[in-house]
Structure formats: C-alpha cells, structure tokens
Chains A and B, each alone.
Chain A
Amino acid sequence: MNASVEFHEAGAAAGRPLLEIKDLAISFTTSNGEVNAVRNAHLTVMPGETVAIVGESGSGKSTTALAAIGLLPGNGRVAAGQVIFDGEDIAHASEKRMIELRGNSIGMVPQDPMSNLNPVWKIGYQVRETLKANGLPSGPDDVAKVLSEAGLPDAARRASQYPHEFSGGMRQRALIAIGLSCQPRLLIADEPTSALDVTVQRQILDHLDKMTTELGTAVLLITHDLGLAAERADKVVVMYRGQVVESGPSLELLQNPQHPYTQRLVASAPSLASRRIQAAKELGVESDDLLAPAEDVVVSTSLPDEVLQIENLSKVFKLRSGFGRSTDFTAVDDVSFSVKRGTTTAIVGESGSGKSTVAQMVLNLLKPTSGKIVFDGVDTSTLNSKEIFAFRRRVQPIFQDPYGSLDPMYNIFRTIEEPLRTHKIGDKASREKKVRELLDQVALPQSTMQRYPNELSGGQRQRVAIARALALDPEVIICDEAVSALDVLVQAQVLNLLADLQSRLGLTYLFITHDLAVVRQIADHVCVMEKGKLVETGSTDDVFDSPQQDYTKALLNAIPGAKLMLPPEVATA
C-alpha cells in the first residue's frame, strides 16, 4: 500500500489530509446518563494511505470510525471536535450531505459478513442498488464486474444467489465489492476479516490491499489485532478506553512502543507473541509467564503415560437431501493421535475441519461412527451410564462462548457449585469452601460468588467457566476455542492462568483452536486437521519451525504479522 501514496498524490490537493479527526468526543445517552465513549481522539489519513486503529473491544475504535461516516447509533452523538473530510467538517453535517458522501466518497466494509447482507435480497440486487444510489451505471454486466473485481468467481451467476447460499469468505468479498463499487476515496474497513478463517482472511486482505492500491483508496482499518495492523497499515493509532494513547508509523510503533498500554499490547499480541516465545527460547530466557513446560510437571509415574488415545476415529453425518434420501458427510475421517498426561495437545484447523467434532466425541457427547477413544486404558464406548457419570468427573470441557455457556439465571456460586452437587461431593459448607478455593485459583475475588454472569466481563466469565471445569478435580480438560472470543490482553491472562494451573495441578489439556498463534503459546503437541483428516502431527516446535504439509505452511503463513521480525529485546519486553 505504500506505493499508492505517490500514485494518488497527483490527483489530490498536495499535502492536505483526506480525513482529519480533531479533538473528537463522542457520548452516548443511556439510562444511566451520558457515557463518554471517545474523548480527544486525533487521527489523520492522507490520500491513498492506510491507517489502522487498534484497540480492544470497548476502546472506542469502531465508534470513532462510524462517526467519520455519520453512522453513530441513535443514542450516540458527536459531543465535541471535528471530523474533516477533504477540507469539510462533516461532524455535524446534514443527513442529506452524508447521503451524498456515503458510497462514492466514503465507503464501508463492515465486520460481520453473516449479518451485514440483507438475507431477503439477492447479492446482485444489493450491489446494484449501491451503484444506482450513487448515479453509476447499474446493468447486470456492471454488477458482475464489481463482484468479480472483488475476487468472486463466476460473478454473473453468483449475483442471482441469496446471501445464505454464500460462504463467509464469499459474503465478505461481496461486502468488499459493495464498499468499493463506487470507488470511494476513503474506505472504512471495520474488522473486515475477524469473523473468517486465517487463510481466507489472508486472501481477502491481500485482495483488499491490491484493490485499494490500484484505485488509490485511503483505508481506515479497524482491528483488534496488532500484528494485522502492523502488517497492513502505514500508520497505527492505538486507542484505549476512548482515547488515542499512541500513534505513529507501524513498525516504529511496534519496535518502540512508548505508552504502557501499547507496550502491553505488543507484549501479548498473539500473532507477535508466537515469535516472542521462540525468541525467548533462543535467548535462553525463562518464559515464566506463558508456557509452563511439560517437563516441569511432577506426575506420579505409576499412572499410564498416555491418558487419551484416539484410534482411527471417524464420524459420518447423514445430510438430508430431500425425498427421504440422504447423503453422507464425513466430518472426521480416520483420525488417530494420543495425548500424554500433563501435556497440552492442540487440534488446529479452519471451520469445517472437524476439530470440534473430535472434541465432542472425546467428551462422549457424540457417538463415533467407527474407531475408539481410550481414556486411561478404557474404551469410552464400552462405558455404562454409571461409568460415564464417573468419566465426566474426570474429563471436563471449557467452551468458546463465555456468554452462552453460563446459565444467566444462576449466580456464580451456584454455577461453580453445580457439578459438585450433581456428583454429590461434600456437604454444603465444604462445597462453599471449595468454590472459594476455586475462585482464588482463577484469580477472581470471592465477592464474585453472589454476582450473575451478565455483571461480569468476557474474561471474568471465562474464568468462571474454568473454575467450574476445575470443580471436580478433573484430569483432562477439553478447551473448545476457549480463548477465541476474548480480547488479546484478556486472552493472554487466561492462557497464563491455564498454563499456571497445569503446572500446579498436573492437568492435561486438549486444546481445540483455529488460532495458530494461541497454539504456539500453550501447546506441546499439535495436530493439524483439514477437511476431517489429520494432515500433520508433531511437537509444536517441529510443526512451527519445519512444517511438512502445504496446508500447515499455508496456515502458518496466514498468521497476520508472522513475517514481521521484531528485535528480540523489544519482543521480550
């Protein structure tokens, strides 16, 4: 994208910023009064330049960007400051003026491809109305051209399909097509790929890069991923709690972060941390925070070494295809691996690779079609209901969505106590003592006991889920995308906690994730899955340092920021 700067400068007023946000303050009217979401925000986007706003959820990064296109939610307003687009202050511009600007001067690519296309209109229709509203030719050929430029294959036919017939990646391409269809001078891309698999994410971002470079479009990229921001943007603006805490050229900011928050963010960005741990190892620095090496765990040697053995596991689902017929869909195809006691094994793969299906079968929530799962020397399919009950006590899950996996009607005490009550462990007093201990273990204050899930943050909820999983003193914990829904800093804290608990309690983890950066931080062994098959297994170091399969290489290359080399002294800061 750097190249585009020169390209565009000839056309634009030399040296004048395309977008300049000055002293911007945005407040929301809520039932609890005014809430200031953004204060004193400053940023400048030059024509053709890519600027990234980085921050965690609630930092005000999306709100700032939405103000630039006049799309603040109904209860939000610009309380102070200016939004200057091409010399014109549009912070309080009329709706009529904003409609003129939207589409052909300022375009937007929204975050979630699943919810941003209207489900009842064909894709082509949704592109055509954009062209039409901005006074551009909107025949079927024009629509197909816009879609194919965004990298949608077979665009003419695809245009007559509905959004639900598209995959997530294709929908995001359609949204990019819409955002760029009127060749805006500024494109606001709000987490354009955070809902997509890494390899798809990379393709989409590459394509977006190419298009905006060709068109000379300036991009305001909103992301929570510092690695991605650094890789894609010329400049990075870091926001924290509604304020811009630091901004500057991407590499400079990464290598020499000034503000304490930026330093923490750089230190825990998973995409960069994958390099960091490696660097730390090479330097012989003790990685006391993130990875508790399995060798340090003291495990009684009398126990069998391999606590879980998965042998030739397959799962076939029957898909209904009308008229009473069904087709077979092989979700998991002949998968074998084993998990050593006290270690962490990660299963990585993109959505649809069958990794969660494996987890559900290991948890005995789903019956395998063939193959077996041997837990502690016993085939789990032979267990009767009483033995399954005992098995559940020893193997516990932690699920992805900390909002969905806690009962909103149960307070935290009841949530954590429930497994103890179910398994009739202890009396009331001893259970309460146990819950207090568990809260201590996951570093939550004991006062949390009387609170309800909706009063806790995402990270706190996931800690509660971990405490609940630990309540029965299990031997194995299956983490199904357990940190995927969390902000980077919170994610790092939870991973720390998991590593710490492992070294103290000798836990075994089976970690299901799509995020290779997380794997790097937590796992000893990696299983890579693609379309139901196990394509590569090995120790984490081997797989990361010398991947054998093309698919694994593609996955590794797709980690945003993976190619950015940071000096070790910064990386270990």
Chain B
Amino acid sequence: MTPFEELHAETVLNKTRRHFFGQIGVSLGSIALADLLARDGLGRLNAAEPVNPFAPRPPMIPAKAKHVIYLHMAGSPSQLDLFDDKPELRKFDGKECPKELLEGKRFAFIKGVPKMLGSPYKFEKHGQSGTELSQLWKYLPGVIDKFAVLKTVKTDQFNHAPAQLYLHTGTNLFGGASMGAWATYGLGSENTDLPGFIVLTSGGKTPDAGKSVWGSGFLPSVFQGVQCRSEGDPVLFLANPKGMDQAGRRRTLDTLKALNDRQATELGDPETVTRIAQYELAYRMQLTAPEVMDISREPKEILEMYGAVPGFVPDSDAAADPRTAYKATDATFANNCLLARRLVESGVRFVQLFDWGWDHHGASPGEDIVNTLPIKVGQIDKAITALVNDLDQRGLLDETLIVWGGEFGRTPMAQNSPNQFAPGRDHHPYAFTMMMAGGGIKGGQTIGKTDDIGYYPVERPLDVRDVQATILTLLGLDPYRLIYPYQGLEQRLIGVEGKGKVPDGLIG
C-alpha cells in the first residue's frame, strides 16, 4: 500500500497506532492521527509515535505565522462607509440605480429599482502608505501601515449563513471543516494544556450559521473550535462541582488513575492508557485555562490600551434584540481581543472572534449605517489597534496573522424596504474589503481596486478562496495538499475544484 492508502486504511480501522505500542502519552484515541497527517505524502511525522492531537507538528512548507487571530464581523460591515471611498457614488446619491447593475442579479432584500447611496462619512489618507480610511476610525489610522487592505474580495454566497460557512469551512453547505480545525489538524498547537482552536463571541449572538462555522465537519471532532466564555466556566465544564476544591479533585483523580492503571494492565487496551492521560490533561487544563483567560491579571495600562473591562456584561445582552441596545462603550469585543493575545501568547494556534451585529440594512432600529455603524466601529476600533500594537511590542506580531472582515460586503445602493428606518445597504458579494496584518503579511499596502461606485473589481479581483489559501500558506500548510478524503473526494479548505492562490505581493 502507498502511505496514502495505508493511512486511510488505518483511519478507518478506528484504531490508533498506539495499539501497536501501548505507550503512555496523549493520543487521539481512535484516530491514527500520524497516519492522517502523513496524507500529504511528506511523512511529516513518524507514524509509529504516539500522537497528541494538539502536539505541534512541522509545517508542510516554510511557515511565516504560528498563530492566527481571525476577527469576523458577522453580518458584514459596509466597505463603502469604512474603507472604499467613492466620490462618484456620493454624486449619484439618491439617484436611481442604473438598470444594467440590476439585470440578472439576485439581492437579499432590494426590490425593484433602488437608489444609490453615497457614504455620509468623510475619508482621509493615513500612514506612510496613504491608505484611505473613513472618519469613523479614530484609532486604526495609527496602525494602518501594518495592514494589507484587500478591496476586491468576492464570495459566491449572498445570504449570511451560507456565506459564513463558505468563508470559514470552504463550502456553503453544512459538513465542511472550519479553517481553525484544518489548522490544528495540520499543525497541532503549542500548548497542550489548552484547546488548540478557541472561539470567542460578542455582539450578543453566535454567528448566523451557528457553531458549524467553527465545527470540525468531516474531520475528527477533537479539532472543532472550543468556545470560551466570559460568563460561567471559561471552558465548558472546566470548574469542579461545588464542594470540591482542586486538592479534592487531585485526590479523586489519583484514585481514578490507580483503578484505570489496573484496568490497563489487566485488559491490555491501549485506549485505557490514553484515557488516563486525557484525565491528567483535563486536570492541567483546569489549572491553566482560568489563569490564561483571566484578563484582570493584565496591568491597568494594557486594559486601557484595549478598552478592556474585566467582568464586563453588556446591558444589550438582556435586550430582546441586543442591537437596539448596543453602546460604543461595550467592552466585550475589547476583552476578547485582549484574551486573544493572552491565548496566542500561551501558544494557542487559532483564535477566532465573532462579533455579531454588522448587518446594516437600515430596515429597523439597531441596524443602519448612520446610527449603528458608528457604535459598532466604536466597539472594535481601539481594541483592534491595541491588539496590533500589543502583539508588536511583545514581538508576537511577526508570528501572528490577524485577519479582519465580514462574510460579504454591502451594496452601493440603498436598501428600499417599505418600512425603511434609516439608510442602510443590502448584501453585496461581488467586491468587499478585508484586512490582514502580521504573520508574514506585507503591511502598508492596498490590493485591488473597485469601480467608481464600488460595485465590481476593476483591478486585481480577489476571492474568498485566496484569503483561505493565504491563511493556510502563511501557517505553512499547502492549501492544495492539505486534504482529507471524504465522500469520494479529496476535501480541501479551498474547495475540491482547487481555486485560490496567495495574491502577489501580499506576503512580505
């Protein structure tokens, strides 16, 4: 058998290599992970060694980044009011949209002939790069030279849930593996006392497509993102039950281990040995995670730098519709950014932040570009800027890739719902802005240009696939060869048809 076939065979046997050897260590249990990882044909691991699913693994290709912090603005912010200034569009503000832009197009909410909507915000050039930013950004200009701004990203999907799935799992259907799952599957993590892929949410809701956007899909469930929380246990079920302190837990685990050791000796099942190790790992996680996740340990100046407020609980969480109660002083996203830095500093491979509340149609209160957008930018502006500076001052920015964006963009036309509440824009998949910094990205540049109204790319069209390919490549994973056979196909984050390339010049 070829290595490929061999590993495939092993996988499906539902057994580990550790069954051969029965060595003590942490293993994936029923998956021959070493075999899975040998799939790329490079034999990056000795298949005979016991494998911890999160043990660091050598990259397939030279890596520029060790960690990713992905900041997803769920709902999709308006690129036209934040990054892509269109004076022409302002000129046509209130005029009917030309028919040719509507023909053959599907919109989520726009009906009939909508009117064009110029941005109410002023733009200025910032930094040495002269990158254009809207007046809504107060802090970002200070670090804009660290960012590459991608203005022509296109997606295939124009509804939230499918577009989020497409971006994060490579397919608009459920069942795909998320990019954090791919990353930890391919590389493991650098701190085995913590999950390798951690998810933090803000905005009062989980993303539209639900927890599948950080799911493991067809990959083993051990690679799914672990949602950490600011209320209750930082990791679900981490805290001992009431009435049991850590010494008591240690004492019970010692007995459990003694009895399980006995079982391992008697029956010779290596899986028992693995289970013993998992309980020890759980214990270490109980000690490590609360400490790492406790942002109150940060000095005052760092908290202020991010605008973080330990223990902050937003009022909006209690509202029936949290968007109507959003405040710019909401520290949840800032807390998550600071926590993301602490996690990366502790060696976590992939940290993903989902901030909900960016779907600014203007059809009802709490979701328009005049009232809500400034509040949402206020919640993230200082924190993102601080994250870049903080990583930089710790020497972590070079090895940490930061990605910022939504699942699509917003239309140059105003939405025209019968009950329109305030100016807003519909979903726009043809060109939207994303940003990347750190982790090997060449900052201080803008890639791609859209037409005069920001409808289509006119220079350097990019695709969500390119973003996926870039993230994997920077991590040292070949987006074409990082595969997993499932349903008769070689599944990849960039899709089985294999599109997606790193845009020229994006990597420094």
Report if A and B associate in a common complex.
no
